Amino acid sequence: MTNQEFISKTKELNNLLFAFALRLTRSRQDAEDLMQETAIKAYKYRDKFAKGTNFKSWISTIMRNTFINNYRKAKTRRHLNHTADEVTENIEVKNVVANSGEQNLRMQEMQRMLKSIGELYSIPFLMFYKGYEYQEIAAQLQIPIGTVKSRIFSARVKMKQILGKRSAA
C-alpha cells in the first residue's frame, strides 16, 4: 500500500474510527490519543496489509488491540509497590508526636506472622510484596509460576486467619 492510498483510506474512515475510539475509551482526549497511536501503528505496518481485504476491519483491529494493550499496561501500573518502611512511615506521619514504638510493634507482629506461616509461603510473599513479578520469583526460587501464585495466595489466607484470630481475642 502506498502512502497516498493509506492516507486517503484513513481519511475516509476518520469519523468512524474516532467514534470507535470514543466508545472504547469513553474520553475525548484518550480517544484522540488512541487515534494517533493507531494511525502510527497502521502506517508503520501498512506493508502488512493484504490488498483485497477490508481496510476498515484491519485498522479497527489495530485500534482495538492497541486499546487492550494500553488498558492492560495501565491496570498493572495501578498496583502500588511500597516497602513496609514507606507504608509505616506514611502511617506514622499522621501521628502528632513522633513515636517509633508503634511502628516497631507492627513490624514485630508482621515478622511473627511471616515466621508462623513458614518460609515456604513467606519467601514468595515477601518477594511479591517487594515488587518482583511472578516470573522473576519463579526463576529465582526455581519453581513453576503456578506454585508461586498458589503460595502467595496461601500466605495471604494464612495471614488473614492470624489477623482474624487476633481481633477475635
The answer as to whether 84 is a domain residue is no
Q: Domain count of the chain?
A: 2
Cβ–Cβ < 8 Å for 128, 156: no
In this structure, are 23 and 67 located in the same domain? yes
Domain that holds residue 61: 3-77
In this structure, are 21 and 62 located in the same domain? yes
The answer as to whether 82 is a domain residue is no
In this structure, are 115 and 151 located in the same domain? yes
CATH number at residue 15: 1.10.1740.10
Q: What is the pLDDT of residues 3-62, one digit of tens each?
A: 888 889 999 999 999 999 999 999 999 999 999 999 999 999 988 888 889 999 999 999
The answer as to whether 85 is a domain residue is no
pTM of the model: 0.47
